Amino acid sequence: MSFFQKVSILLTVCAIMVASNIYTLIPIYSLLADSLFIAESHVVLAGGLFTFFYACGLLSFGPVSDYTGPRKILVLGLLASALATLAVGFSSGSVSLWVARSVQGITLATFASVAFAYSYDLFNFRQRTILVVLINTGFLIAGIFGQVASAFLADVLSWNSVFYFFSAVYFILFAAAFFLLKESSPPSVESTPLWRVFFQLLKDSRLLKCYMITFSLLFAIIAFYDAIGRFFNGPESDLLMIRLVGLIGASLSLFTGKLMERWGELRTLMFGLAIGSSSAFMLLFFHSTGALIFFSIFFVSSISLVIPTVITLIGYYGSSQRAKALSLYSFILLTGASLAPPAAAMLSFSGIMGLLSSLFLLNIGLCILIQKKAFQSAKAG
């Protein structure tokens, strides 16, 4: 097995396991609240704190890796994640849960943007493209795996075992990364202040619209599954099936490249958004287990198409500042995710589905505006 193949397997598994902790609280809100004798809203807040600090970490560790090299951040980040995740399992009340989940969010943020930087440093264009797709597919699988693993372990053992399990996994991945990953030369560091680079990126109207779309993506997937978990009244086995079938939709991300080659990025993006909007809209009227299974496949498929396409567009529009443009993408993506649990807690199931359908329609409108600007620029040129 070549070095590239070994790294691809390791980073894909890391992507699944790291991103899974965005979703681990969704199936165990009430169980955790009852076990710690705290309000369920406090557990929801813990989820929001995790995603907020995770987003802040994503914005920070990419630039930090410019100084240290990505390998150090990846390896030490996994060790810190193991310790922080273990601390979550020992939480005894609201405050300790909030602090532990916040620290866990920061430590797990050492992976995503730094893994992309590592891919760019060590591999050629073709290998890098394959690895980025695999990592993104891992992130999508995590949305299902995190919920299923959490629900299973909490049901068979206890809520603490969820975090003991992931802590043990991070220790194993730390050891694998320590021995497998090669050092790469730190890239040259620019003298331009980071905040000024981010401000310049946001002044680009095309990037700004892409970031507006980005904000809704993880918000949508987390709110979708959170709403189903809260309002589904059927047996646990059916709820597990609803979550598992999403893996079928997640696999569609592997074919995004072919669709972009055939249709172009913006058409692929609008197609994915149209599927998501239609799926959420149909769930306003059909609430049976079969309908939830059927439309959840299409909803996850839409996210699977949209995320890699948005990354491609941001990378293209970001040009020479591509790495920082993608760091800003990661921050905005997770900032949206941090608002999903409280939104799902405040709205009814129909309210969430109506909101998601409307958000995706709005995003299609943003795509049309980007397309119009591109057409005008081409005409002027």
pTM equals 0.76
CA distances from 301 to 105, 245, 259, 305 (A): 26, 11, 13, 6
pLDDT value of position 187: 57
Burial class of residue 284 in the structure, from the number of CB atoms within 10 Å of its CB (0-12 exposed, 13-18 middle, 19+ buried): middle
The tokens of 234 are what?
Answer: 């059927």
CA distance 59 to 198: 10
Domains belonging to the chain, first-starting first, are 11-181 (1.20.1250.20), 192-381 (1.20.1250.20)
Identity of the residue numbered 189: V
Q: Give the number of other CB atoms < 10 A from CB of residue 79.
A: 18
pLDDT value of position 168: 95
pLDDT value of position 278: 92
Q: Give the number of other CB atoms < 10 A from CB of residue 295.
A: 21
All residue ranges of the chain with pLDDT < 70 are 63, 66, 125-126, 128-129, 184-194, 253-254, 257, 320, 322-323, 374-381
pLDDT value of position 346: 84
Which is nearest to 292 in space by CA: 222, 231, 343?
231
Q: Which residues contact 108 (CB under 8 A, 6 or more apart)?
A: 18, 21, 54, 57, 77, 81, 84
Which is nearest to 338 in space by CA: 127, 109, 72?
109
pLDDT value of position 381: 53
